[in-house]
Amino acid sequence: MLSKYVAPGTRLEIQAVDRTRSVDDTERKKVYQSTVYDILSEDKLEVFMPVEKTKLILLPVDVEYDLYFYSSYGLYQCFARVTDRYKSDNKFILVFELTSNLRKFQRREYYRLSCALDMNCRLLEKEEIEAVDKRDGFLMEGLPLKRGIIVDISGGGVRFVGEYAYELNSLICCTYHLAIDGKDKEYTLIARVISVKEIEKKQGFYEHRAQYINIDTVEREEIIRFIFEEDRKIRKREKGF
């Protein structure tokens, strides 16, 4: 199951969960970012040693960790123990052995991708808001839209800027395009504004955070897949591939 959902290059988070309490509380709360180097078997994988401020983090052997994989299929979680660490071809590697099954994980927070995507949006009309309450999904067509720029996107919502300010908790309709499986696809989604602030040194421009409402599961998974693919491309460019 591991190789089905996790591959070399998959981003992951590592957090200590040592049940023997050989790790102090401060260390237990830390979350380290890393990337899968290779899959050795269905219960063993190699991971790049995490780095903090250019310093390698030498995670101790025999300590158990909580792993979260940001797979193109979604977010997956398991427990694993460090069984070895070494240097190979000038790469510093940790070997993890799974101590639990890999499982699909639902988290309120999603990985955010910094971007610059065109978006059009507008406030919902009264009839549309009533439809949202009934989980109807009814939207009127042909109403005027305002232009915005999405500056980060996740499976849970968007952060965007524009020359306007929506009221907190207002419901909006937002439309944007993503490249999914090599094809351009338009997304028209309903979202609730959860944060509004004027941008410093840019008078008249406002930053909004909006959280999707009643989003279709398939569309959410497509957005997450787009984010991971774009993140993978960025990492390859940074490494010169």
- At residue 15, the pLDDT reads 85
Please calculate the CA angle 79-84-86 and round it to the nearest 5 degrees.
130
Instruction: Tell me the CATH architecture of domain 2-104.
Output: Roll (2.30)
Closest residue by Cα to residue 98 from 72, 77, 74: 77
Helix (H, G, I), strand (E, B) or coil at 162: strand
Domain ranges of the chain: 2-104, 113-236
- At residue 206, the pLDDT reads 96
Q: What is the distance, to the nearest Å, from the Cα of residue 226 to the centroid of all Cα atoms in its chain?
A: 10
For the domain made up of 113-236, give the CATH fold.
Answer: Thrombin, subunit H (2.40.10)
- At residue 109, the pLDDT reads 55
- At residue 97, the pLDDT reads 96
**Are domains 2-104 and 113-236 of this chain identical in fold?**
no
- At residue 228, the pLDDT reads 79
- At residue 35, the pLDDT reads 92
141 vs 5: CA distance, rounded Å: 39
With a cut of 50, list the residues of the chain below it in pLDDT.
18-23, 26, 28, 108
Matching residue, tokens 């840019």 = 202
- At residue 72, the pLDDT reads 74
DSSP string, 93-150: EEEEEESS--EE---SS---EEEEEEEEEEEPPHHHHHHHHTT-----SS---EEEEE
Q: What is the distance, to the nearest Å, from the Cα of residue 94 to the centroid of all Cα atoms in its chain?
A: 24
